[in-house]
Amino acid sequence: MIVVPRTGVRGGPQTRAKIAGVASGLFVERGFDAVTVADVAREAGVSSVTVFKHFPRKEDLFFDRQAEAEDLLRTALRERGPGDDVLALLCDLVVGLADDRHPLSGLADGAGSFFETVAGSPSLANRAREIGSTLQQALTEELERQPAYPGDVSLLAAFFIAGYAAVLVQTARDRLAGQPIDTVADAHRDRLRRLDEALRDGV
């Protein structure tokens, strides 16, 4: 994830990007649980303290797009114009990610290796669930600022995040099964369409 680093963190965005890149390569090569923060620091040419200043948890070295995902959700709603439908904005956002083959869609180059690494690490799987909960809370907070939305915002946030997670899980399975990327992308978009329909009819 492209994240704006904390102010005052030594090295800035270039150091952060270098650390994340080195970490991702090591995790894919050796497996997440076999790599230590000290290994990452050594390969990146920085101290472990510097790594932790940029990434408070080891799992954050791998899931480094959480802040970007949260920002995309908030921005989509904050740029809402008069009469714009909240659910349509959210669904347009994830369809746009798919069209761009964005890393958050699971359709980007290298996503197969990403999914294999997650599948091989219980700690990463647990962290993914925690991130989903964090994104749900962020979306709920943003929806609460949308007085024009008539429904239960906490339910919409829960259903949308859970629904998108389900779409990603199936996309991951398809990619790990070796299906052609265009076939995977078409199925991914179809599931997004059905998610939109389910949320619109049910929420």
pLDDT tens for residues 26-53? 999 999 999 999 999 999 999 999 999 9
Report CA dihedral (121, 126, 130, 132) to the nearest 10 degrees.
70
CATH of 12-62, one of 1.20.1280.290, 3.40.50.1950, 1.10.10.60, 3.40.50.720: 1.10.10.60
Whole-number Å distance between alpha carbons of 96 and 100: 6
pLDDT at residue 148 in the model:
63
Model confidence at 142: pLDDT above 80: yes
How many Å separate Cα 89 from the centre of its chain? 18
Distances (CA, A) of 99 to 96, 108, 160, 194: 5, 10, 19, 16
Model confidence at 152: pLDDT above 90: no
CATH of 66-202, one of 1.20.1740, 1.10.1740, 1.20.144, 1.10.357: 1.10.357
pLDDT at residue 151 in the model:
75
pLDDT at residue 141 in the model:
93
Model confidence at 4: pLDDT above 80: no
The number of helices, as runs of H, and strands, as runs of E, in the chain is 10, 0
Q: How confident is the model at residue 79 (pLDDT cuts 50, 70, 90)?
A: confident
Percentage of residues in the chain with pLDDT exceeding 70? 92
CATH 1.10.10.60 region(s) of the chain?
A: 12-62
Of the candidate ranges 81-85, 148-152, 170-174, the one whose mean pLDDT is the lowest? 148-152
pLDDT at residue 166 in the model:
96
pLDDT at residue 11 in the model:
58
Mean pLDDT of 135-147: 90
Tokens of 54: 């940029």
pLDDT at residue 146 in the model:
74
Residue at 125: amino acid letter = A
**Does residue 1 sit in helix, strand or coil?**
coil
CATH 1.10.357 region(s) of the chain?
A: 66-202
Are the C-beta atoms of 106 and 115 separated by less than 8 Å? yes
